[in-house]
């Protein structure tokens, strides 16, 4: 939670700098953020490759739980497709691109800014931060009403890192592996889905 | 990402405690630059209210959709496990 607030703080600081042109000569800023993004993706890959436990743990998982990432992706996209009806000025592919960030706000917002401009990129950032906050705050309630898989699904790509501690607490230790597996798969699919819908 | 996985696998004998910190700093930098980009764009600033509303709508819809899907899967799993026992 505190981590998310710090991140929002940096974003707001960036907006202030941008509005008042506090840093001169940032015309090729797109490049800077793109290079940062590449470094970020490299680092995430590095961490996955660096953890040899992660693959061993997956082997012990019940087959049915392996469907959860798929449910998350299908459910999210279906929900976002419906919003297109409420937002006539946004195309279906734009809504799906924002939705397929699945809580991975840093990556999805930068990708969407690259493809669709800063306006939709900002929507993606806010929408996916809100989704993470919903997970962090609402996990216990979701467990009670919809079962332990619901908050993991809502957590989307964040369930193997930022929301994992909360989910462990809300769903119980048995679901840690499910949560990590889910986060791993969804995390991996975000760059592909976002790029796919943004290019449509 | 593939390059990162490969590099991480090759160096798996060593542990990198500072990686988490670096990741966070990079995320901060990224969001900061993103903010600058959004701030320099007058259309974004003017539309911030509308954009926020859109964002809220999309996140609620995505959340609801994934809850429904996860709930359905949970019911299936529970029924199957109940059947075996």
ipTM: 0.74
Taking a contact as any Cβ pair under 8 Å apart, which residues of chain A between 35 and 54 contact chain B? 36-37, 39-52
Q: For residue B57, which residues of chain A lie inside 8 Å, CB to CB? A: 83, 86-87
Residue A122 lies in a domain: yes
Neighbour count for residue A170 (Cβ, 10 Å):
22
pLDDT recorded at residue A134? 85
Total structural domains within chain A: 1
Residue A19 CA to residue A41 CA, distance in Å, equals 28
Residue A154 in contact with residue B63, Cβ under 8 Å?
A: yes
Residue A66 lies in a domain: yes
Residue A79 in contact with residue A131, Cβ under 8 Å?
A: no
Residue A32 lies in a domain: no
Residue A21 lies in a domain: no
pLDDT tens per residue, range B26-78:
777 777 777 777 777 676 677 777 888 888 999 999 999 999 999 999 999 88
Residue A79 in contact with residue A108, Cβ under 8 Å?
A: no
Residue A28 lies in a domain: no
pLDDT recorded at residue A51? 67
Beta-carbon-side half-sphere exposure of residue B27 (alpha carbons within 13 Å): 22
Q: Domain segments of chain B: what residues? A: 1-46, 47-85
More confident residue, B20 or A70: A70
More confident residue, A155 or B7: A155
pLDDT recorded at residue B14? 63
Residue A126 lies in a domain: yes
- At B21, list the tokens: 């910190």
Residue A121 lies in a domain: yes
pLDDT surpassing 50 at residue B85: no
Residues of chain A with pLDDT under 70: 1-5, 7-8, 23-31, 33, 37, 40-41, 44-45, 47-49, 51-55, 57-58, 60
pLDDT recorded at residue A158? 86
Place of tokens 């980009």: B37
Residue A107 lies in a domain: yes
List the domain range (segments joined by +) for residue A76: 53-199
Q: Do A49 and B12 make contact, defined as CB atoms within 8 angstroms?
A: yes
């Amino acid at each position: 939670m505190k981590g998310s607030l710090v991140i929002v703080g940096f974003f707001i600081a960036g907006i202030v700098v941008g509005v008042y042109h506090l840093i001169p000569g940032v015309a090729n800023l797109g490049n800077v953020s793109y290079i940062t993004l590449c470094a970020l993706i490299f680092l995430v890959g590095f961490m996955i490759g660096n953890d040899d436990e992660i693959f061993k743990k997956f082997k012990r998982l019940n087959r049915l739980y392996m469907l959860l990432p798929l449910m998350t992706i299908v459910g999210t996209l279906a929900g976002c497709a419906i919003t297109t009806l409420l937002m006539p000025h946004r195309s279906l592919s734009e809504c799906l691109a924002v939705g397929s960030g699945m809580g991975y706000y840093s990556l999805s917002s930068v990708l969407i800014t690259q493809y669709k401009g800063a306006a939709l990129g900002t929507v993606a950032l806010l929408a996916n931060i809100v989704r993470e906050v919903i997970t962090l705050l609402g996990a216990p309630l979701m467990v009670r009403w919809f079962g332990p898989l619901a908050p993991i699904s809502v957590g989307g790509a964040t369930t193997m890192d930022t929301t994992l501690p909360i989910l462990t607490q809300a769903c119980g230790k048995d679901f840690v592996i499910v949560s990590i597996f889910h986060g791993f798969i969804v995390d991996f699919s975000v760059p592909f889905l976002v790029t796919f819908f943004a290019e449509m | 990402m593939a390059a990162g996985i490969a590099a991480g696998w090759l160096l798996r004998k060593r542990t990198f405690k500072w990686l988490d910190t670096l990741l966070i700093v990079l995320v901060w930098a990224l969001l900061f630059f993103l903010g600058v980009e959004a701030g320099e764009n007058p259309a974004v600033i003017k539309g911030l209210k509308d954009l926020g509303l859109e964002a809220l709508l999309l996140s609620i819809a995505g959340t609801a959709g994934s809850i429904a899907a996860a709930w359905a899967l949970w019911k299936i799993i529970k029924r199957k496990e109940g059947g075996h026992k």
